[in-house]
Amino acid sequence: MTASSIHNQKSTIRNPLWWMVGILLLAAAFRFLAIDAAPPGWRDDELIEVNMDRRIADGWRPLFITEAEGHEPFYHYLHAGTLLLFGDNIIGYKWLPMAFGLLTIALSYALARKMFGANARVALLTAALLAVSFWPIMYARFGLRHIGVLPLMLGAFYLLYPSPRPASKRGEGVKGVGRFVLAGLLLAAALMTYFAGRALPIVLVGFLVYLLIFQRSIFKRVWWRYLLAIGIAALIALPMFIEISRTPGGEKRTEVVGGPLIELRKGNLRPAIDTTLGTLGMFTFAGDPEWLYNVENRPVFDWLTGLFFYLGVLVCLIRLKRVGPGFALVWLIVGIAPAFVSIPAASFSHTIAALPVVYLLAAYGIIEIVDKVASRQGNKRLALSTYLLVSLFVVGLGGWLTIRDYFGTWANEYIVRFQYHAPTREVAKWLNQNPGITNIAVGTNPYQLVLDPLALKLDLPRDIAVSWFNAESALAKSPDGLVAFTALQAPTVEVRQILSDTAQLQYRQPEFEVYLIVNQLGRPASPAGAFDEGRLVLRSGDYPTMPVRPGGALLWRTYWLVDQPLTQSRVKMFLHVLNGQGEVIVGDDREDLNFATLSQGVSFWQISQLTVPNDLPPGQYQVEVGWYNPETGERLTRSDGSDRLLLAPLEVIAP
C-alpha cells in the first residue's frame, strides 16, 4: 500500500454525526452544569444588560442602546424573548448564551467540513476542542452578547464558503441566491450584536482579495455574491449606524479601549506595537490579563496544544494556494486584529471573532501529525488509532485544565467573587433555605446599591422584602429586625459600634453575616421632624454635645423611620454646619440607602462625619439636616413647608 493510498483513506471516521452527538452532550455538560457556581454570581455588565432586556420585554424598541458605552440591540431583543419565556432568573438569562455556545460548536463542525473536505476528522476535533476549552466555555456561561456573534458569523461563512466546483444551474437560480441573501441577514444580525461583528465584512473582503490573487476562477464565481451579502447586511444595519452617528458619545467604547488606535492616528506607533505583540502571544505565552474573563494572563492553549496550533498555521502558510488554509489565515488575522489597537492586549472579548478558527487550526495541526504517521507506516488502522489516541489526550488535557482553571481557580478567586457579586448569591441561597424569612435589610458596597438588589432578585425564586444600604456609613433595620452584611463591604467601626449596642449575631459564614437588631439606639431628637409629607421621620439622634476645637472630627448618628414609601426613589441626606449668614461652612452629603427598596416600617441609622475647619472662629453654629433629590437638587419638605431641620447647635472653642 502506497503512501498516497493511505493519504486517500486517511483513517476515515465512520458515522461522524454520532460522534458529534457525543461531543455536543459533553459540551452541554461543560456549559450547563454548576451554573450557579461558575461564574460565582452576576457580573455588573450582566445586571446592566438584564435591565435593558427587561425594558425591551416591556415594550422599549431601541435602534441603538446608548447606555453602558453603547450596545448594539439584536442580542438584547433575543434575550428579552428568553426572559419572557423563562422568567427573570438564571435560566431566563443564561439559556441563550449556553444555547449559542452549543450552536457555535455545531456550526464550526459544519464549516470545518466544508473547508477541509468530506473527511470529518478536522471538523470533529475542532468541535471537541471547542466543547472543553476555557475560552469558549467562559463566554457560553457568561450572559453577555459577545457569544451572540459566533453562530451568526459561522452561519454566514458556511453559506458563503465557495464549493470546490462550479454550482449547478439549479444552484445558480433563486435557491442559490437565497443562500447569499440569508448570509446577508446573518451578517446584519452580527453587525447589530457586538462591536466585533464589524470584523466579519472585513474577513469576507480579505478573502475576496485572497481569491483574486490565488484562485481567480473561484473569485469570478463568488465576488458578486459576497458583495450582495455585505450590501444586504450594510443596508439592514444602516439605521443603527445612523442612530449611532446621531448619538453623542455613541462610539464611546473606542475612547475607553481604543487608546492605541487613537495614538496610532496621531503617529505614535509604540502603544499599537505593544498591544500587537501582546495579542500575538495570547496563544501560549500570556492571554487576557483581566480576571473578569480569564485566569489572569492564562494563554489560550497549553504548550502541547499550542504547538499543534502553530503547526496548523505553518501548514496553512505552506498550502496558501488551497482555499481552506487561505480562508483560515484571513479569518485568523482579521479576527485578532481588533486587539492590535485596543486595550488590554490579548483581550478575549476583542478577539472573539477569531475563536472558532483558532481551535480549527489546532485541530488541523494535529491531523497533519497523524497523517505523517499514516504515510510512514502505511497502516490505516494504526493511523486511525493514532488519531483517536492523540485527540483523546489533547481533548482530555484541555478538559482537565478547564475544570482546574475555570471551575476551580477562576471561580474561587477573591477578585472574581467580588466582581461577580458572589456574596449576594450566597445570601440568596441562605434565604432560599430559610423560607420563614419574609423581610431583611442587607448592607453592601456603596457602588452596588443599585445592582446588588437585581442580583439577589435573579437568584431568589420567591418574593421577599429586602432593604439595601451602604454598610460604610448606614445601618438599616427590617421590620423583623434582621440585617445581613455581605463580604462586598464589611461594616465600618462606626456601624459595628451600633451593632454591638443593638444587635445579636445570628449566622456567619465567610461570604456574609446576619444579625438580629433587638433594640434601638439614640436619644430623642430635638426638635422632632418629618419629611416628604410625613413619610420619612427623624425618630432620634446621637449628636456631639461637648465643645470642639478647630480641626476636630465630629460624628452624628441620626435614626430615621420610613413611615410610608417615599414619593421619590432616590434621595440624599445632607448635614451642614452653617455660619451666621446661613451659609454652609462644612457638610456631609450622603446617599447610603436604596430608597426604592425600602418598604414601610423600615428604620435606619445614618452616620455623618465631618472635620471642623482649622480657621473656624469660636462660637455656636447652627447644624441643619434634610433630604434632596440628587438628580434635580430639589429638597424634600416638612409639613410646615420648610426644607430642613435644625439640630442641636455646635459649640466651637478656641484652640
C-alpha cell at 191: 453587525
Asked if residue 240 has pLDDT above 50, the reply is: yes
- State yes or no: pLDDT of 590 exceeds 60: yes
What is the overall mean pLDDT for the chain? 90
- Dist. CA 143–CA 458, nearest whole Å: 13
| Secondary structure (3-state) at 608 | strand
Does the pLDDT at position 1 exceed 50?
Answer: no
The residue that leads in pLDDT, 259 or 64, is 64
pLDDT of residue 381: 72
pLDDT tens digit sequence for 95-104: 999 999 999 9
What is the C-alpha to C-alpha distance for residues 290 and 351, in angstroms, rounded to an integer?
A: 14
Mean pLDDT of 286-308: 96
Q: Which of 230, 227, 221, 215 is nearest to 325 (CA)?
A: 215
Contact of 381 with 12, CB cutoff 8 Å: no
Collect contacts of 628-633 with beta carbons under 8 A, ≥24 apart.
Answer: 628/571, 628/572, 628/574, 629/568, 629/570, 629/571, 629/572, 630/570, 630/571, 630/572, 630/591, 631/570
Q: Is the pLDDT of residue 6 over 90?
A: no
Q: Which has the higher per-residue pLDDT, 151 or 640?
A: 151
Q: Quick one: pLDDT at residue 5?
A: 38
> Which of the four pLDDT bands, split at 50, 70 and 90, describes residue 384?
confident
Please report, rounded to a whole number, the percentage of residues in the chain having pLDDT higher than 90.
75
Q: Is the pLDDT of residue 105 over 90?
A: yes
Average pLDDT over residues 5-33: 80
Confidence of residue 3 (pLDDT cuts 50, 70, 90): very low
Look at residue 486 in the predicted model and tell me its pLDDT. Answer: 95
| Cβ contact 475:469 at 8 Å | yes
pLDDT, tens digit, 9 for 90 and up, residues 189-239 = 999 999 889 999 999 999 999 999 999 999 999 999 999 999 999 999 999
Residue 562 CB neighbours (<10 A): 21
pLDDT tens figures, 511-526 = 999 999 987 666 665 5
- The model's pTM is 0.90
Q: Is the dihedral of CA 468, 473, 479, 482 positive or negative?
A: positive
Dist CA 619 CA 548 (whole Å): 10
The pLDDT score that the predictor gives to residue 167 is 55
pLDDT at 172: 47
Q: What is the pLDDT of residue 528?
A: 61
Which stretches within 281-379 are classed as H helix? 303-318, 323-336, 355-377
Q: Over the stretch 112-135, which tens digit does the pLDDT of each residue have?
A: 999 997 678 999 999 999 999 999
What band does 175 get if pLDDT is binned at 50, 70 and 90?
low
- Sign of the torsion angle spanned by Cα atoms 555, 559, 564, 565: positive
Q: For position 91, what pLDDT does the model report?
A: 93
Instruction: Return the C-alpha cell found at 111.
Output: 464549516
Instruction: Give the pLDDT confidence score for residue 44 in this predicted structure.
Output: 94
Residue 168 has pLDDT above 60, yes or no: no
Examine residue 97 and say whether the peptide bond preceding it is cis (omega within 30 degrees of 0). Answer: no
Question: What's the mean pLDDT in 352-362?
Answer: 98
The whole-number average pLDDT for the span 265-275 is 87
Own/partner contacts of 66-73, CB < 8 Å, gap of 24 or more, are 66/247, 66/249, 66/250, 69/252, 69/253, 69/256, 70/244, 70/247, 70/249, 70/250, 70/251, 70/252, 70/253, 71/145, 72/145, 72/191, 72/192, 72/193, 72/194, 72/195, 72/197, 72/240, 73/192, 73/240
DSSP-derived secondary structure letter, 649: P
Mean pLDDT for 641-651 is 90
